[in-house]
Amino acid sequence: MNNSQEKTVIGVDLGGTKVQVGRISRNQIEQEYYRLISAKEEKEKIIREVIEAIDTVFDKSVDSIGVGVPGVVDIKSGIVYDLVNIPSWKKVHLKERLEDHFGCPVFINNDANCFAVGEKYFGKARNFSNIVGLITGTGLGAGIIVNNSLYNGSNCGAGEFGMIAYKDRNYEYYCSGQFFREIHKIDGADLFRRAENGDGSALEIFRQYGYHIGQLITTILYAIDPEIIIFGGSVSKSFPFYIDELRKVIRDFPYSSVRENIIIDVSETVNIAVLGAASLCYNIDVK
136 and 165 both lie in a single domain:
yes
Residues 132, 77 within the same domain: no
User: According to the model, what pLDDT value does residue 286 have?
Assistant: 43
- Same domain? For 68 and 170 the reply is no
Please give the Cα distance from 281 to 8 (Å, whole number): 9
Give pLDDT, residue 157. 85
- State whether 63 and 131 are in the same domain: no
For residue 61, count other CB atoms closer than 10 A to its CB.
11
Going from the C-alpha of 209 to that of each of 140, 184, 188, 244, the distances in angstroms are 13, 11, 11, 11
Distance CA 251, CA 247 (A): 6
Q: Is the same domain home to 135 and 50?
A: no
Question: d(Cα 198, Cα 194) in Å, to the nearest integer?
Answer: 7
| Gap between the Cα atoms of 122 and 279, Å rounded | 9
Is 272 a member of any domain? no
**What are the distances in angstroms from CA 222 to CA 170, 216, 254, 259, 281?**
17, 10, 10, 11, 31
Please check whether residue 205 lies inside any domain of the structure: yes
Does 286 fall in a domain? no
| Contact (Cβ atoms closer than 8 angstroms) between residue 97 and residue 48 | no
Residues 11 and 98 in one domain: yes
Q: State how far the Cα of 50 lies from the Cα of 72, in Å rounded to an integer.
A: 18
In this prediction, residue 2 carries a pLDDT of 64
Query: What is the pLDDT, as a whole number, of residue 253?
Result: 97
Tell me the torsion sign for CA atoms 22, 28, 30, 31.
positive
Q: Is the residue at 274 inside a domain?
A: no
Note whether residue 116 is domain-resident.
no
Same structural domain, 256 and 234: yes
Q: Domain containing 137: what range? A: 124-266
Same domain, 106 and 159: no
Looking at 55, 77, 110, the residue that finishes a domain is 110
Tally of domains within the chain: 2
Based on the fold, state whether residues 226 and 257 are members of the same structural domain: yes
Q: Are 112 and 135 in contact (CB under 8 A)?
A: yes
Q: What is the CATH number of the domain that holds 7?
A: 3.30.420.40
Q: Which of 110, 133, 157 is the last residue of a domain?
A: 110
Residue 278 lies in a domain: no
Tell me whether residue 273 is in a domain: no
pLDDT in tens, the chain (287 residues): 565 678 999 999 999 899 999 999 988 999 999 999 999 999 999 999 999 999 999 999 999 999 999 988 999 999 999 998 899 999 999 999 999 999 999 999 999 999 999 999 999 999 999 999 999 999 999 999 999 999 998 878 899 999 999 999 999 999 999 999 999 999 999 999 999 999 999 999 999 999 999 999 999 999 999 999 999 999 999 999 999 999 999 999 999 999 999 999 999 999 999 999 999 999 665 43
Record the pTM: 0.94
- Are 88 and 163 in a shared domain? no
Nearest to 39 by CA among 102, 98, 89, 74: 89
Flag whether 280 is in a domain: no
pLDDT of residue 84: 85
